[in-house]
Copies of this chain bind each other. A is one copy, B any other.
Amino acid sequence: MALSREQHFDMYYYLLLGRALEERLETLYKQGKIPGAIYQGRGQEACYVGSAYALEPGDVIAPTHRDMIAMLPRGMDIKLIVAQHLAKVTGPTKGRGEDNYLGDLSRGIFTTVSMLPDFYPVAAGAALAFKIQGESRVALAYCGEGATSRGDWHEALNFAAVKTLPVVFFVINNQFAFSTPAEKGMKIGNVANRASAYGMPGITVDGNDPIEVFEAVKRSVDLAREGQGPSLIEAKTLRMKGHAGHDRFTYAPSGLIEQWEEKDPINRFEILLRDEWQLNDEEKQQIEIEIQMKIDGAVAFAEASPLPDPNEVTKDVYH
């Protein structure tokens, strides 16, 4: 399970790509080029990259509104992500779906819905299909700590446990659900403690450490793949931005953001890479340039893309 230098660099690349892509989306949003909303996972990049990087090609993920970065290690084409936000016909939903509710089934990425966490049962069902068909595949479902209060979360975990399904439930506890602090959403400190209600392992990890996240998810994914059933993993972090583009996070307790800025997952990982894997400035710059070019290309593609033809509005409701 020890990760090679290349794999470390890979993860580093996705961390930087995720952050830069979100920053660019924020710029586009502020320029008024995004008709809808943006939901940013800044500060949570380690959760996304560490978890998604633990999967194999045939596996599937079910991200929510904030989890776009988890798609990147799955090979999601960022042109599609930008085009979706700009409501262009070249987006994966052809301009029909909003924001981060996008995906690509060929890469094992579900196009989820806004109702939280409705794709928890769906992910369990995908895992059911894998089990029935004798496939060695795993499903990974994302949501925030707030969404764990909803009934579908409970039904999904219980169903998966009873049926010993190959699914990993990954909860990003970023301390807030919209404006609601975690302690007003649940009375216990750790989401992971909910696992015992279903008879599955529950693990809490440092959500700002990509390696710790990766290792925990990898262990759970391996268990799932071996037929040992589901796990619940909670990654603790802080949502470093407001809930959505328009929310200035005025309700953050003073000092909290600064405190977590010091734990910035990318800075931390960079130190590790410099100390242990000989990352140097030149390499870093190279990666950053590559990412900027890629994002520039995606934005250019999306901006040049046409909006959908209004006559397409009634197409594709049915197969």
Name the residue on B nearest A200 (C-beta).
Answer: B187
Contacts of A158 in B (CB 8 A): 149, 185-187
Contacts of A212 in B (CB 8 A): none
Number of copies: 2
Stretch in contact with the other chain, from A89-97, A106-114, A191-199: A191-199
- Please determine whether B162 and A155 come into contact, CB atoms closer than 8 angstroms: no
Measured in the bound complex, the distance between the Cα atoms of B154 and A194 in whole Å is 11
A151 at the interface (CB under 8 A from B): yes
CB-contact partner of A151 in B151, B161, B193, under 8 A: B151
A158, A159, A198, A200 — which one has the most chain B CB atoms within 10 A of its CB?
A158
Contacts of A152 in B (CB 8 A): 151
Measured in the bound complex, the distance between the Cα atoms of B147 and A155 in whole Å is 11
Measured in the bound complex, the distance between the Cα atoms of B186 and A162 in whole Å is 6
Measured in the bound complex, the distance between the Cα atoms of B154 and A147 in whole Å is 12
In the complex, how many residues of chain A place their beta carbon closer than 8 angstroms to a beta carbon of chain B? 23
Contacts of A199 in B (CB 8 A): 186-188
Measured in the bound complex, the distance between the Cα atoms of B185 and A45 in whole Å is 36
Encoded as 1 (CB less than 8 Å from any B CB) or 0, chain A from 181 to 210 comes to: 000111110000110111110000000000
A150 at the interface (CB under 8 A from B): yes
Measured in the bound complex, the distance between the Cα atoms of B192 and A196 in whole Å is 11
- Please determine whether A184 and B155 come into contact, CB atoms closer than 8 angstroms: no
Q: Which of A142-171 contact B (CB under 8 A)?
A: 149-155, 158-159, 161-162
Contacts of A153 in B (CB 8 A): 151, 154
Name the residue on B nearest A188 (C-beta).
Answer: B199
- Please determine whether A184 and B162 come into contact, CB atoms closer than 8 angstroms: yes
Encoded as 1 (CB less than 8 Å from any B CB) or 0, chain A from 45 to 60 comes to: 0000000000000000
A152, A161, A184, A198 — which one has the most chain B CB atoms within 10 A of its CB?
A198
Measured in the bound complex, the distance between the Cα atoms of B185 and A159 in whole Å is 8
CB-contact partner of A196 in B149, B161, B197, under 8 A: B197
- Please determine whether A161 and B149 come into contact, CB atoms closer than 8 angstroms: no
Name the residue on B nearest A121 (C-beta).
Answer: B151
Contacts of A188 in B (CB 8 A): 196-199
Q: How far is the CB of A121 from chain B (nearest CB, A)?
A: 10
Contacts of A149 in B (CB 8 A): 154-155, 158-159
Q: How far is the CB of A167 from chain B (nearest CB, A)?
A: 14
Measured in the bound complex, the distance between the Cα atoms of B149 and A185 in whole Å is 20
Q: Residues on A close to B: CB < 8 A?
A: 149-155, 158-159, 161-162, 184-188, 193-194, 196-200
Knowing that A150-B155, A151-B152, A186-B199 touch, tell me 5 more A-B residue pairs with CB under 8 angstroms. A151-B155, A158-B187, A187-B199, A194-B197, A197-B197
Could you write out 13 A-B pairs with CB less than 8 Å apart? Answer: A151-B152, A153-B154, A154-B155, A158-B185, A161-B187, A162-B187, A186-B198, A186-B199, A187-B199, A188-B196, A188-B197, A196-B196, A197-B197
The 3 closest A-B pairs by CB, nearest first: A151-B151, A187-B199, A154-B154
